[in-house]
Structure 1
Amino acid sequence: MNIEQIKYILEVTKARSITKAAANLHLSPSAVSQSISQLEKELGITIFNRSRQGTVPTLDGKKIIRIGNEILTKIDELYNEFSTEKKEKSLRVGCAPSLTYIVYDAFLLFNKEYPYVHIEIKEMNIDEMLNAMKDETIDIAFSPFSLEDPATSNVHNFIRFRSLYTGYICVCVSSRSHLYYKNSITLKDLENEKMVMYSSNRSITFNTELFTKVPILFTSNNIEVLRAAIIDGHASCLIYNFTFKNNQDVKNGNLAVIPLKNPEIINHQFWTLIPKSKGISAEAEEFQKKVMFILNES
């Protein structure tokens, strides 16, 4: 038994549903269900009865709930007793522009649980991020880049990498665009379309290698300026499948995010970067979990 399992059991009891409890915990229903099943197997008991009326505790489950509440209460007392300096905690987060919205959504979730942690988020290109990691001016970062790039050949000396997510390239178009209802878009579809692009080495590579026949309206480091140009119908833009994931303009249909049909560039690996000298703090670990939850939620 561990603390997380106790928390899951108490949340399921309150919600009377594993699905609702998982949403409240920002986890998948399968993760919560498997954790509880593992504990049931370990103790040789059944904790919940599942029926159309909901998920309700058994007699054995009620005992665990009672003791679990007592355990968590004592843990909270200990935490409050020895965390007088918790308001001074801070977390410095670096992120690539394509992940800015995701990292901000993760911050909103994180802040609800850890309001005493001061968060500073910096949008950075890869060179800035690697230098900040080396100088220890950020605690954790989220970015896509190739580990085979010669410019990053020595990064393993001072950075630890964790696989975060595999994303793919899409085209973001306005509801005014004739491409809006397509299921996928090819490079040929874009030949007569104007594009706006983010000013990064990766975008420049796309432009040089792929878009020789596509007119570029402008490039910018401001993602909101790019989004405005798309909404107004003046241009389309390459983004990752998650870049505007929770953006209201996508949800209400003003924008569509459509996969780019090109096997050579469709997948890109995203990474969590951690400074080797410091390791990852408990706060950074929790923040990473929130980023992964946002990226993987349906």
Structure 2
Amino acid sequence: MHIEQLRYIVEVAKTSSIARASENMCVTQPAVSQSITNLEKEIGFKLFIRSRQGVSPTVEGKLIIQKAYEVLAKLDELQDQVDLYNNVIDGHVTLSSVPTMLPIALKALKYFQRKYPTIQVQVLENLGPGVFKDIQHGRADIGLLAADNMIGELEHITFEQLVNGKVQVIVGKESHLASKDVLTVKDIQDQSFALYSGPLYSKGIESIFSSPIKRAIVTDNFETIRFAVAENLAIGLVLDFYLEKHPDLDQASIVPINLINLPPLPSLQHGYAMRKNSKPSYGTRKLIGYLQNEFQKFSKSDS
């Protein structure tokens, strides 16, 4: 029995899917499936029932999975204690993030620094490919970016989902669209747009519209998009978590509206990445916990 097997069965139980678990842990489905099969042979009974509806634990499996979860939690506690004895609580963490994930990430950082004021955190803002390079070349310990930035790059990088976005239109309060409950692509096809310049964002826009649209403003500064929309110069297309707790929404100068009947889109998953063979520091692990907590709170409030 190996620690990695315990991590696999806990993740499969959490997601009810070998495919999703393998995606979250950045390993192949056959590797996860074979590892679980080997463990089941070793202990002499089945841990999961596999069906077309997904994967569910057996009665015996539920007990083993709970124990595996407790073992992994204790291992994390042990590592934390080792770090404390080694006086690494005064460490340094570098976080590289795409602009669209920063509002929630900075909220997590606020709570983190209240708890760990002696750990220095540096924040780098970059587009997705830049965040990936920051992780790849060791300039950052944690990278926040879209899952699609990781395609074909998971041999040396791990990725864990934090949030799965939902497409929204944002319009100014004076826009004739502001009174709409929902919008379709046809409703906005002829509008002028303020758009984010990221390559994956541009790819997503192209997949939504069947013909060219009016790109009035294209920028890598999301504040520029918000300003243009608030002033009714253009409308925007965003993922819902981009707008988390922004004052323009509180003042009703920007109105978010759900976009429905969309064609298939590229992945809207966003999360954190780290180098696969690096050992995360005490501060890095703790900051990840705060990030997970804040993005989870957003997902729950949106559901």
TM over 0.5: yes
Cα offset for 1:231?
A: 0.8
With normalisation by structure 1, the TM-score equals 0.65
Q: Name 2:112's counterpart in structure 1.
A: 110
Verify the 8 A CA contact 1:169 1:266 in the aligned structure 2.
Answer: no
Verify the 8 A CA contact 2:135 2:141 in the aligned structure 1.
Answer: yes
SS in 1 for 2:292: helix
1:139 pairs, out of 133, 138, 141, with 141
Q: Name 2:65's counterpart in structure 1.
A: none
Q: In 1, distance between residues paired with 2:148 and 2:266?
A: 14
Taking structure 1 as reference, are residues 116 and 237 closer, same or farther at Cα in structure 2, changes over 3 Å only? same
SS in 2 for 1:242: helix
Q: 1:171 aligned to 2:173?
A: no
Q: Which has the larger radius of gyration?
A: 1
Q: Name 2:278's counterpart in structure 1.
A: 278
Give percent identity, aligned residues only: 19
Cα offset for 1:252?
A: 2.6
1:189-228 matches, within 5 Å, as 189-211=187-209, 212-228=211-227
Q: In 1, distance between residues paired with 2:266 and 2:141?
A: 30
Cα offset for 1:263?
A: 5.0
Q: Name 2:155's counterpart in structure 1.
A: 157
Q: In 1, distance between residues paired with 2:159 and 2:87?
A: 33
SS in 2 for 1:102: helix
Q: In 2, distance between residues paired with 1:272 and 1:139?
A: 10
Verify the 8 A CA contact 2:207 2:263 in the aligned structure 1.
Answer: no
Q: How many residues align?
A: 215
Q: In 2, distance between residues paired with 1:205 and 1:92?
A: 29
Q: Any unmatched runs of 5+ in structure 2?
A: 1-80
Q: Name 1:4's counterpart in structure 2.
A: none
Cα offset for 1:232?
A: 0.6
Q: Deviations over 1:90-118 (max 9, x none)?
A: 11011122212111121112111111111
1:58-137 matches, within 5 Å, as 86-87=89-90, 89-137=91-139
Taking structure 1 as reference, are residues 281 and 82 closer, same or farther at Cα in structure 2, changes over 3 Å only? closer
CA RMSD, Structure 1 to Structure 2 (Å): 2.5
Taking structure 1 as reference, are residues 186 and 101 closer, same or farther at Cα in structure 2, changes over 3 Å only? same
Q: In 2, distance between residues paired with 1:273 and 1:146?
A: 12
Q: In 2, distance between residues paired with 1:183 and 1:267?
A: 25
Q: Which segment is superposed worse, 121-130 or 131-140?
A: 121-130
Cα offset for 1:266?
A: 8.6
Q: In 2, distance between residues paired with 1:174 and 1:281?
A: 44
Q: Any unmatched runs of 5+ in structure 1?
A: 1-77
Q: In 1, distance between residues paired with 2:135 and 2:266?
A: 28
Q: In 2, distance between residues paired with 1:279 and 1:170?
A: 38
Q: In 2, distance between residues paired with 1:126 and 1:194?
A: 25
Taking structure 1 as reference, are residues 83 and 254 closer, same or farther at Cα in structure 2, changes over 3 Å only? farther
